[in-house]
Amino acid sequence: MKIYILVGTRPNFIKVTQFKKVAAKVYPQLIIKLIHTGQHYDEKMAAIFFNQFNTEPDYFLNIAPNQPNLQIADILIKLQQLVDEIGKPDWFIVPGDVNSTMAGAIFANKNNIKLAHLEAGLRSFDSSMPEEHNRVVTDCLSDLFFVTESSGLTNLLNENKDKSKIHFVGNTMIDTMVAFENEIENSEILNQLNVQADKFVLLTMHRPATVDNKEELSKLIALILSLSKTYKIIFPVHPRTLKNIKDFNLQGKIETVSELIFTDPLDYFAFQKLVKYCQFIITDSGGIQEESTFRKKPCLTIRPNTERPITVIEGSNTLITFDLLKIEQLILEIENGTYKTGSIPKYWDGKATARILEIIAQA
């Protein structure tokens, strides 16, 4: 059985690290090929991950940086050319919710190739998020739904999806954390950044709703200025965020903050070591809400909603706005030990990839 997995962005790369390894061990009849669209393409957002995970893509579509429609069109054309050349697979797997995910779903549908979606059923119910449309379209076209948390199951059933095609398997992003625990532990990033365990805050911010808007980005800067009076902050900055900080002329406000460690995007092992050893996290990321829950690490997510509600209901995540007073209140709870510890959601145990391959092997 031939399976193509289509990835395009940093979080995608992190969700598919165990497929070839598990298949080689348990399902040698499954031939898995990794196709990278090139949506994220540079060393720090792409190459470093393939390197660390030892998962170099089999095929690279090399799409150009461009507007979403042009990128999606480019993916469709280049995928068609590639598949015409190398042959159709039995299954196409797409992870997550980015433009590459949706393009892969449309491609599979138009070629009568069966489609499996990793992280199916997640919904923020926020139509201003580009990712929400990618999720909905992908799930409309999917033949198998692999679900990470109970809300995904409920959402798909509410959308009248066929129950027999929905499988609650857990979270392949957690599989990667479990598989690389030693490498994460061995990262030298704390020494390199000259910080001590439990003596710093980890910050990431990259969603268009926050960083494409001068007013919201200014609130982030105000938060950094306020937090840095008490905490050392490590801020691995996403290229989109860096560009906007420069474009909106906000760099001057944080350049001289001595307690702020502004870095390029970090490699996976280094970043995960910071997740494990920080005091708490402030983010707007999807995946980091899950990773912090797995580590039972307090996570304050600056968003009005989440497509991953289990991280709030069972995990250590809290949704919040840029309200400095409320943030201070939560930090006080973290400091005095009254902030929730959370528990690890069902099936987030490092074995989701194996469950998925078992189902596909029998499909």
Catalytic residues: 206
Residue 288 Cβ, how far from ligand UDP at the closest point, in Å?
Answer: 5
Token output for 343: 């528990």
109 binds ligand UDP (CB under 6 A): no
18 vs 285, beta carbon nearer ligand UDP: 285
Binding part of the chain for ligand UDP, among 9-17, 106-114, 135-143, 343-351 by CB under 6 A, reads 9-17
DSSP single-letter state for residue 129:
S
10 binds ligand UDP (CB under 6 A): yes
Token output for 222: 């105000």
Alpha-carbon distance of 120 to 180, in angstroms, equals: 24
Alpha-carbon distance of 293 to 298, in angstroms, equals: 8
Alpha-carbon distance of 5 to 270, in angstroms, equals: 26
Residue 90 Cβ, how far from ligand UDP at the closest point, in Å?
Answer: 28
- Binding positions for ligand UDP, 255-274, rule CB under 6 A: 265-266, 268, 271-272
Residue 206 Cβ, how far from ligand UDP at the closest point, in Å?
Answer: 6
- Binding positions for ligand UDP, 275-314, rule CB under 6 A: 285-288, 291
134 vs 142, beta carbon nearer ligand UDP: 134
For residue 16, which phi and psi values (nearest 5 degrees)?
-125, 20
Contact present, 265 and 49 (Cβ < 8 Å): no
236 vs 350, beta carbon nearer ligand UDP: 236
- Binding positions for ligand UDP, 210-239, rule CB under 6 A: 236
Other C-beta atoms within 10 Å of 294: how many?
23
DSSP lists the bridge partners of residue 91 as 3, 114
Residue 29 Cβ, how far from ligand UDP at the closest point, in Å?
Answer: 30
Number of helical H runs and strand E runs in the chain: 19, 13
Q: Give all strands (DSSP E) within 274-350, no chain letters.
A: 280-283, 299-302, 317-320
14 binds ligand UDP (CB under 6 A): yes
Spell out, one character per residue from 165 to 204, where the chain touches ligand UDP: x when CB under 6 A holds, - when not: --------x------------------------------x
Scanning 166-227, the segments in alpha helix (DSSP H) are 172-179, 181-186, 189-193, 208-211, 214-227
89 vs 236, beta carbon nearer ligand UDP: 236
* Chain positions contacting ligand UDP, by CB under 6 A: 10-11, 14, 173, 204, 206, 236, 265-266, 268, 271-272, 285-288, 291
